[in-house]
Structure 1
């Protein structure tokens, strides 16, 4: 994303303001709070003055709130945006014990309650979506109005993927595995914002955190099969919109189209133009526009 963007959206000119806000949100280390649950939660809270539902964001594992700095710079002009980190993923990276995706969902409820947030929309990147789906199950569609999934691979886990998850759990193999991940993500022509995030914000995590990510993601796939199968099990689903970039195959699109036909009352999808699994970093303007459209639909659904 260039440092100067000129965009007219809903009557607001965003040019130098976008660059300034992005720089601020990317550098801000955020707040730390211990709600009733007693777990330390790192988060940022922008756009407090806005009415309407808040936007809650979940990062993927072993990354933090700064990945949302680009799209937050757009969204916070219209909505309150709360970017929440997993435990031990904020400025303090000290590992404080195992936790699950369900625990992260419960932490989110405690945080939202402490901040006085009633209704909200969730943006969930990659495996953060496992926690978002648990949150949807816990609070229902009257509180969580919509879920925007940001590129969560919706296929069955391959033996190679399971092998990588196991390698993350080994004291002798986790470091080599993480380096291989980073090199694959940084290979080729990588968007400048992607490169910046991978080089600056994913550091500071040791063996315990990487091992827990492998164990927890492995358990999620073995329990549910795929994210789409997990969505099907929601008793009271919110509006769900999947924004994905990869893979760009007809088979993958058909998988989503069949799911949309079966669940047309609440599921939609769109393919982004990006080359990575991080559309909110690679193309924040696109994710911003998609999110606004989903919020509009969610509010209409709520008041219908």
Structure 2
């Protein structure tokens, strides 16, 4: 069941399942998706964990246009919701550019409350030129539909995976130019500010285990960049799955759950986190 709570003057939709002790799992979406993106992952996480799925402003069942917002509001809304639900320790699992929010939450709340986190398929390097061009196209009213469709095709990568196609064709509607252009403006701004998610991670004031799980792009250079980052930062790990699409939590939920359980079991000595 989806619930709503008014926080920071905005309606936030969420669901909350499970009563297991220990850290809750907080599932965060990318832009332009809602909690249903995790429908296939949640059964793998229950009953081991309490699982909370959070929708951004304007991303819940009510798609009435909302006032402008970005990373500060996404972060504040999520923290306010978890505070209201009396969630103490939790592990964020964030898809795509929801990863920026997970990192900001981790920075603000510290490792005692957010001991580790997982990110699913976020471009970890500086944004490729073609990706930046797509972001800018979607910010212009006259080219946004073409830019969006190119982006979606890159996400699907020609896959015929039924679960992913169901998600894209039946669960991703209700967002027009206003939300898509906002998303691309915010995302472009984050890459401009930080350079890359890996740069953002290195600037966490208190490092903790972070794992990136992804299937594409299939690029040796992309893997090599993450391997070099891992060597410098032993708290970082990454796993390339043998999937086809941008949606590992939809396409390969059992493998994503296994990666999460492995991350939760990981025990790095405190001295190695620095």
> What's the TM-score bracket when you normalise by the shorter of the two chains?
over 0.9
1:63 aligns with 2:33: yes
* Aligned residue in 1 for 2:47: 77
Distance 2:262 2:129 in 1: 37
Superposition misfits of 4+ residues, deviation over 4 angstroms:
298-301
Query: Would you say the 8 A contact 1:146–1:298 is kept in 2?
Result: no
CA drift of 1:187 comes to: 5.4
1:133 is aligned, of 73, 96, 103, to 103
Match of 2:246 among 277, 285, 294: 277
CA distance in 1, matches of 2:259, 2:154: 28
The match for 1:45 among 9, 16, 19 is 16
Partner of 1:20: none
Residue matched to 1:214: 184
Secondary structure of the residue aligned to 2:41 is helix
User: What secondary structure is seen at the aligned counterpart in 2 of 1:140?
Assistant: helix
Mapping of 1:99-110 within 5 angstroms?
99-110=69-80
Write the distance in 2 (CA, Å) between the matches of 1:190 and 1:41.
33
| Bigger shift: residues 170-179 or 53-62 | 170-179
TM-score, reference length from structure 2: 0.94
Q: Residue 217 of structure 2: which of 244, 247, 267 is its match?
A: 247
Distance 1:298 1:90, change over 3 A: farther
Residue number in structure 1 paired with 2:257? 288
Instruction: Output the TM-score relative to the length of structure 1.
Output: 0.85
Q: Is this contact kept in 2: 1:145–1:298, CA < 8 A?
A: no
- Are 1:175 and 2:145 matched, yes or no? yes
Task: Give unpaired runs (5+ residues) of structure 2.
Answer: none
Aligned mates of 1:164, 1:250 — CA distance in 2: 23
Two-structure CA RMSD over aligned residues (Å): 1.7
- CA-CA distance at 1:298 after TM superposition: 6.2
Shift of 1:55: 0.5
For 1:299 and 1:41, the matched residues in 2 are separated by 35
Instruction: Return the alpha-carbon distance in structure 2 between the equivalents of residues 135 and 196 of structure 1.
Output: 31
Q: How far has the Cα of 1:220 moved from its partner?
A: 0.5
Shift of 1:247: 2.0
Structure 1: stretches of 5+ with no match in the other structure: 1-27
Deviations 1:233-277 (A, max 9, x none): 11012310111111222222221111111111x111111110112
Task: Go from structure 1 to structure 2 and tell me whether the alpha carbon gap of 1:184 and 1:258 turns closer, same or farther (over 3 Å shift).
Answer: closer
Give the distance between the partners of 1:57 and 1:87, measured in 2 at CA.
15
> Aligned in 2, Cα 1:178/1:75: closer, same or farther, shift over 3 Å?
same
Residues 184/151 of structure 1: CA separation in 2 closer, same or farther (3 Å cut): closer
Matching of residue 34 in structure 1 with residue 6 in structure 2:
yes
Give the superposition deviation at 1:179.
2.5
* Within-5 A mapping of 1:154-173: 154-173=124-143
Identify the residue that residue 266 of structure 2 maps to in structure 1: 297
